[in-house]
Every structure is written in C-alpha cells, then in structure tokens.
Homo-oligomer: A and B are copies of this chain.
Amino acid sequence: MPNQSRVLMQGNEAILEGALAAGMRFYAGYPITPSTEIAELAAERLPKVGGRFIQMEDEIASMAAVVGGSLAGVKSMTATSGPGFSLKQENLGYAIHGDIPCVVINVQRMGPSTGLPTSPAQGDMQQARFGSHGDYGIIALTPSSVSEAYYLTIRAFNLSEQFRVPVILLTDEVIGHMREAVSLPDPSELTVAERRKPTAPKGEHKPFAPDAKGVPTLPNFGDGYRFHVTGLIHAEDGFATSNPKLVDQAVRRLTNKITDNIDEIYEAEQREIADADIVVFSYGGTARAARRAVRMAREKGLKVGFYRPITIWPFHDEMVRNAIAGKKAVIIPELNLGQMAREVERVAHGTTTVIPVTKVTGEILTPAEILAAIEEVR
C-alpha cells in the first residue's frame, strides 16, 4: 500500500510489533483468549528477526522461562489474560524480587474465574498491583488506542530495563482486538533503553547494589560475572541474608526504586482540567467512551475535564489529588466494580466526591452512560 506510514493494526498486533521494535527477542507463552494473537504473531515474526519463541506447558512455566531468558541477556516477554495472570503471580513476584527486567502483557477479559473469555473488562487492576505475596513495587501501563499500545509496549521494555522491574502492560479486550491506523515510526526515531551493565571488575561486582536511583546493574549469564540470583531475601552480593538491616534495605528498595522515580515513570493525559467542575477519570479502553462523553458534555456547556492515567501503577497520589481537589465530583467509569475508584478515593482525602461508574455486564461502557453520570452531578 502506498501510505506506508499508516498501517491498520489490531491492538494485539501492535503490542507484538512494539515489542519487536523495543528489541524483544524471546517470547514464552501459553495461549489464552483474548491475548492469543500476540503469541501467534510472536511465533511467526520472532524467528524472522533471529529471535526465539516457545510455547510452554502453562503460564507458570512461561513466566519462569521469561525470567530465564532475561537473565540470559535477551529482552523477554509473555502475554496472557485473567486466569493465566493469576497463575503467573508467584513467578512474577520472583522477577520483582530478583530485579529482573521483563514485560508481561495482560489483555484483560471478564472475570472472575473463567468468566466471559471473549468479553472486555478491567477487573485485574488491583491484582496487577497486589497479586503476588509480600511487599513490592511494580509498573503497569494502560493503552487507550492501538497506536498507544505500540508505543507503550516499547516504553514498557524501556522502563523495565531502566528500573530492572517487570512491567505489566495492562490492556483489555477492547484495545487488544480493535483495529486502528498506527503510524509506524522509523526504528531510528525510537528511544530504546538497554540494560545497564556493570562497570566494576568481575570479582567486585555486587549484583544487587543500587545506584542513585535504587537500581542495580545487570550482566548477562555467560558474561563471566558468576553471580547468584535467589528468591530469598538477599544482600547486595545476591546471597540470602536475615540481617534485619539488610532485609529492610532489600525489601524497601523494591518499592522505593519505583516510588522514588515516579515522576520519570508516570504519564497521564489531562484535558481541560483547569476550569472544570467535574473530572472524568478514566483509563484503557473505557477512556475512549469517557473522552467522547466529556466532549459531549462540553458541547452541552458543562465544565468537564478529563484525566487519563497511562501509567496506572505506581499511582501518582499527588498529581491525581492536584487534578481533582476542590472539584464538585470526580467520575470514574470502569469495567469493574470500582477498583480504580478506590485509589482515587484514597488520595481524594475528602476534597471531592468520588463517583464510580461501574459496569460488569460483559459489554463496554458507552459515552451515553458516562454522560448520564456527569449530568447527574447536581
């Protein structure tokens, strides 16, 4: 086709293409609707660029293999949906605890349990933050368009390498299966972050000694550093410790490396907040309907603003509070029973009324439904 720069792509396809552009060369997965196209495309495209695809026996093994691939020095990813995301939690926690970069795509479908496999939902929002045991920090990004799915996947890999943390691309069936025009950039225009390698001589490298940002450097297995990785709480040398001070440092660092760098990690779209009485706070596929509703409201002369977190974890308490404090209400439409609304309520500190607009019928929220909620405020 002549107009090469704009290509029709499905969300799942954009994710895979974004991953390839970010340098992903190892994919381990297990099929599950509605994420399966990502695996299928990985199987087709990876060997063409010299990468490798493996279909593992289950999601637990997929997550494990991704961690292994990453330690072997290859940017690695997996994709799944609800039930598979639940299964990955233990090894996802391992990756977090071991500061191991990787990207996990969750194309959300409706739960709980097997749920409605082909229906859109946003029900894994809190699970993305708290699904594994113990305390940790994590990054989760949420695209609202196919094009954004492409770019956020690249960003997911970049953040993952920069902060040595698994990054969740928490998308949904709406985005995953929608087709839109994506303007594919020239690879040279992309910013692709690479893993920071140690500079210390081999004998002296401390594999978990943080830099100023709290992030250690990471050699590849095979580079000759002969380091140790464990799921036990470990000191900077990588070996298990129960020294209370070192334990405290180790555990807090996992959260602090995210929260301390939140301004670098966090992204949100804000529209017409300044003069607004009401803010519609929405993310992912639902944000499309919300943005339309906001336009419709503005057309009706209502002063409504729009806040769309693109990074949903970490949650930027301060920025959100600034955006909503003193407003008449903040309306939070989402395809779940108010999971994002909990967070907004938490940071609102009573400075505004938090109105969840929830939908769990297996269908998406419509602009009309959101507009109705807007109009109901007073």
Interface presence of A340 (CB below 8 A): no
Q: Find out whether the CB atom of B112 lies under 8 angstroms from the CB atom of A134.
A: yes
Q: Find out whether the CB atom of A337 lies under 8 angstroms from the CB atom of B111.
A: no
Residue among A97, A135, A342 with the highest chain B CB neighbour number at 10 A: A135
Residue from the list B114, B117, B134 in contact with A115, Cβ < 8 A: B134
Binds B, one of A121-129, A265-273, A306-314, A369-377: A121-129
Residue of B nearest to A106 (CB): B133
A360 to B123, CA, bound (A): 29
Report A179 CB to chain B, min CB distance, Å.
Answer: 23
Residue of B nearest to A325 (CB): B350
Report A252 CB to chain B, min CB distance, Å.
Answer: 7
Q: Find out whether the CB atom of A116 lies under 8 angstroms from the CB atom of B362.
A: no
Residue from the list B83, B96, B119 in contact with A242, Cβ < 8 A: B119
A336 to B135, CA, bound (A): 6
Binds B, one of A194-202, A225-233, A281-289, A297-305: A225-233
Interface residues of A in 96-144 (CB under 8 A from B): 96-98, 108, 110-117, 119, 121, 123-124, 126-127, 129-136
Residue of B nearest to A347 (CB): B345
Task: Count copies of this chain in the complex.
Answer: 2
Residue of B nearest to A345 (CB): B346
Q: Find out whether the CB atom of A360 lies under 8 angstroms from the CB atom of B111.
A: no
Interface presence of A55 (CB below 8 A): no
- Which B residues are CB-close (under 8 A) to A339? 130, 135
Interface presence of A224 (CB below 8 A): no
Q: Find out whether the CB atom of B361 lies under 8 angstroms from the CB atom of A245.
A: yes
A363 to B85, CA, bound (A): 31
Q: Find out whether the CB atom of A115 lies under 8 angstroms from the CB atom of B233.
A: yes
- Which B residues are CB-close (under 8 A) to A124? 133-134
- Beyond A136-B112, A361-B247, whether A252 also contacts B130 by CB under 8 A is no
Residue of B nearest to A114 (CB): B231
A90 to B361, CA, bound (A): 21
Interface presence of A349 (CB below 8 A): yes
- Which B residues are CB-close (under 8 A) to A135? 111-112, 123, 336-337, 339, 360
- Which B residues are CB-close (under 8 A) to A126? 126, 129-130
Residue among A127, A133, A242, A348 with the highest chain B CB neighbour number at 10 A: A133
- Which B residues are CB-close (under 8 A) to A97? 111-115
Q: Find out whether the CB atom of B130 lies under 8 angstroms from the CB atom of A247.
A: no
Interface presence of A251 (CB below 8 A): yes
Q: Find out whether the CB atom of B86 lies under 8 angstroms from the CB atom of A93.
A: yes
Interface presence of A218 (CB below 8 A): no
Interface residues of A in 317-363 (CB under 8 A from B): 336-337, 339, 342, 345-346, 348-351, 359-363
- Beyond A96-B113, A114-B231, whether A129 also contacts B132 by CB under 8 A is no
- Which B residues are CB-close (under 8 A) to A231? 113-115
Residue of B nearest to A124 (CB): B133
Q: Find out whether the CB atom of A89 lies under 8 angstroms from the CB atom of B131.
A: yes
Q: Find out whether the CB atom of A244 lies under 8 angstroms from the CB atom of B363.
A: yes
Residue of B nearest to A137 (CB): B337
A119 to B245, CA, bound (A): 14
7 example contacts (A-B, Cβ-Cβ < 8 A) are as follows A86-B89, A87-B87, A96-B112, A96-B113, A97-B114, A111-B133, A116-B232
Q: Besides the contacts A97-B111, A126-B130, A130-B339, what 5 more A-B pairs have beta carbons closer than 8 Å?
A: A83-B93, A87-B89, A233-B362, A244-B363, A345-B346
Q: Which 4 A-B pairs have the closest CB atoms?
A: A111-B134, A112-B134, A349-B350, A114-B231
